[in-house]
Amino acid sequence: AAICGRSATRMRDDEHVEMLRLLKIYEASIDDTADTMVHTRTAYAVGRYIADCARAPLIDQTLWRVGRLARWQHALLPADQFEALQRAPGHESARRLRRLCGAIIAHDPEMARTEARDFLSLSVAYMVEAIARRPAAPADGGGTSPPKRPRKV
């Protein structure tokens, strides 16, 4: 959120064109494929550009961590849950990202931070729901993992 607030104050008007071009690529990727890794990669490109326009140190590490968390979240969901979700989360994500870009274009840092938190909360909501649907491990822990291999001496 801080990155987006900074971009709202530092991004030049001529840089908005590129941000919107990348946003359109992201929106098109959602309609073109159900592959969430493609969606993540194209959304990350928008985020990378926003971060570059913030012109602040250490933003690379923050964005890298957000991207890594997104990839981990996608790996956590089983394929059948991905198929059930399909493109609905992607379309909602694109709507939220478009609002975020609008706040940056308006040079409104507070609104950009708010929209960034809203954008990031979407993936959290889907993850909480997915985790809640996972079967709980037995209390004794039995049957949930393969037997341990004997140690080599």
Among 122, 96, 118, smallest CA distance to 1 is for 118
Over residues 31-57, the mean pLDDT reads: 87
- Which band of pLDDT confidence, cut at 50, 70 and 90, is reported for residue 1? confident
pTM above 0.85, yes or no: no
What confidence score (pLDDT) does residue 35 get? Answer: 80
What confidence score (pLDDT) does residue 64 get? Answer: 66
In tens, the pLDDT along 91-123 reads 898 999 999 999 999 999 999 999 999 998 887
Among 32, 36, 13, 14, smallest CA distance to 24 is for 32
Six token digits for residue 42: 């194209």
Q: Tokens 């840092």 identify what position? A: 109
Residue 75: CA count within 13 A, CB half-sphere: 6
Rounded CA-CA distance 90/20 in Å is: 17
Rounded CA-CA distance 100/105 in Å is: 9
Rounded CA-CA distance 80/35 in Å is: 13
